[in-house]
Amino acid sequence: MTERLRIAMAQLNQSVGDLAGNAEAMLAWRADAAAAGADLIVYPELQLVGYPPEDLVLKPALAARAEVELHRLAAATADGGPAMLVGTVIANGGLLFNCVALLDGGKIVAIRQKRELPNYGTFDEKRLFAPGPLPDPVEFRGVKIGLPICEDVWFPFVTSHLADRGAQLFINVNGSPYEVGKDDRRVKGVCAARVHETGLPILYLNRVGGQDELVFDGASFVLNADGSIAHMLPDWEEALVITDWVPDENGQWVCLPGTVHALDEHPADIYHAMLVGLRDYVNRNRFPGVVLGLSGGIDSALSAAVAVDALGADRVWCVMLPSRFTSQESLDDAEGCATMLGCRLDTISIVPGTEAFDAMLGEAFEGRKPDLTEENIQSRIRGVTLMALSNKFGHMLLTTGNKSEMSVGYATIYGDMAGGYSVLKDAYKTTVFDLSRWRNENHSSLMLGPNGPVMPERVITKPPTAELREGQKDSDSLPPYEVLDPILYGLVEQEKAVDQLVAMGFERETVARIERLLYIAEYKRRQSPPGVKLGGRNFGRDRRYPITNAFRTA
């Protein structure tokens, strides 16, 4: 019987579609694992092709290239170093499978296919892959290892089958996106249940990094059969951790205790999700930096802070775009934010543009009083100006709207909605306040920005306003955010009906109005830029509502 097994956990980032780059990274990490005396190095789900590959994986050329790279990786194991457990795509008989391949001794010695294919929320794997059969364990160095892939552990079927077939421990590779509160569900909910049912330990490995709207937090771990956590890897950062496994007096495999990292508390987890998502989106798409409108309000201040923390102050370009309604307070607060962050701030007045539009449309608008139209023109002039800077200099335009505004349409399409990415897209306004207070008092090793406050306190405490007309406040058009946000959470995340929210103590007229605004703003959201997913129902892949929709619950 094998006396000891040393398994390296490679918690890595990955680049969708960069098969050669991903393979090279795996070989580099394998060299480090070899130096540590590892028998096996394990990589996250679909590490070779990147997760989620979406419809890119349907291109036959991708599966063909994945096969070439997998054989190249297998050949590398002929050196007598660690075996490799690699997540990849394999085409077989006209079908595609999400697989893990065990590479050892210069060969592909075993392949196991994912059985349970998630098809909810952001996941649509049944569109892409065929389900594999219930898998048998693989034998490695005399140990029978069960290889459930990601969703395979969220239900008892695969792990119970593997246990019945003689598995002695589980290695579960994942591409599990971040959501608020998901750490506890993974450890104390899903994996603890599988360990309790089977009596077997589990090594849970997750990826890190951003991929479009999804961000992956890592937080990989090892859970022993007694429910104790032997290892907890850090969240958000790449890490190589060596785990040592030995049989106990009953022959049960046990992972020896290692480092248990503390994971982010709330709202640090949300802030870091935004930071990592923006960082990888901008860098992977090769933008030199970002440009954004800095209004002196809290949304743009927080967006600028996340951008500086993600990219560094020298890659963030803030632009103040005052109108005749912009207060001196807003000008001062924008300057204060830029100074605290250490980033560039330019001022470009939109007054000449609004005067030009007034003259251009004067005859057509004759006899009509100024209304929302003129407010939207101001917002669109700002959007055109920022896009012009983006086009001319190559910086991606960072959009600054939050989820509360996007929910009810309190945003101007082709105006403040213009841009390439939004870190606040899934953050309600009350969350924006919480994050701003937190960032002013905290700093972390992930941040490239200053260790200290990043915005004047007045930005957080003053009443929110779009400043598109004299004396305008958000509260003129919307309920207070401490009322609006719980209603929106009930309507969006929980799919509650108006009557249910009324029963919770909200006014019927207010809830019915918010439900109507939510539905009629669907066309705007369909045209909004991507942004970091934070909660259980982001606008986009999580929530796919018809634009034309006559249903109401009021």
Q: Among residues 69, 114, 151, 467, which one is catalytic?
A: 114
Mapping DSSP to helix (H, G, I), strand (E, B) and coil, where does residue 321 land?
coil
Q: Residue 108 forms beta bridges with which residues?
A: 103
Q: Which two tokens stand for residue 262?
A: 């503390």
CA distance 337 to 39: 51
Q: Among residues 45, 69, 116, 467, which one is catalytic?
A: 45
Mapping DSSP to helix (H, G, I), strand (E, B) and coil, where does residue 191 land?
helix
CA distance 54 to 44: 17
What does DSSP assign to residue 394? -
Comparing CA positions, the residue from 168, 169, 158 lying closest to residue 117 is: 158
**Is residue 140 exposed (0-12), middle (13-18) or buried (19+ Cβ within 10 Å)?**
buried
Helix ranges restricted to H, 51-186: 60-76, 125-128, 156-164, 182-184
Using DSSP bridges, classify how beta strands 83-92 and 95-104 pair: parallel, antiparallel or unpaired. antiparallel
Q: Quote the crossing angle between the two packed helices 298-311 and 268-284, to the nearest 10°.
A: 60
Active site residue 45: yes
Active site residue 114: yes
SS3 per-residue string spanning 243-267: EEEEECCCCCEEECCCCECCCCCCC
Comparing CA positions, the residue from 322, 325, 379 lying closest to residue 349 is: 322
Helix ranges restricted to H, 429-507: 429-441, 457-461, 481-492, 498-503
For the chain, the residue count is: 554
Q: Among residues 99, 150, 191, 337, which one is catalytic?
A: 150
Mapping DSSP to helix (H, G, I), strand (E, B) and coil, where does residue 357 land?
helix
CA distance 311 to 288: 10
The end-to-end CA distance of the chain, in Å, is 67
Looking up tokens 């393979």 gives 23
Write phi, then psi, for 169 (nearest 5 degrees): -160, 160
Q: How many helices (H) and strands (E) does the chain have?
A: 18, 20
CA distance 541 to 532: 12
Q: Which two tokens stand for residue 23?
A: 């393979």
Q: Which two tokens stand for residue 277?
A: 């998502």
Active site residue 522: no
Mapping DSSP to helix (H, G, I), strand (E, B) and coil, where does residue 78 land?
helix
Q: Is the peptide bond before 133 cis (omega within 30 degrees of 0)?
A: no
Q: What does 359-397 look like in DSSP terms, one character per residue?
A: HHHTTTTTT----HHHHHHHHHHHHHHHHHHHHHH-PEE
Mapping DSSP to helix (H, G, I), strand (E, B) and coil, where does residue 145 land?
strand
Residues marked active site are found at 45, 114, 150
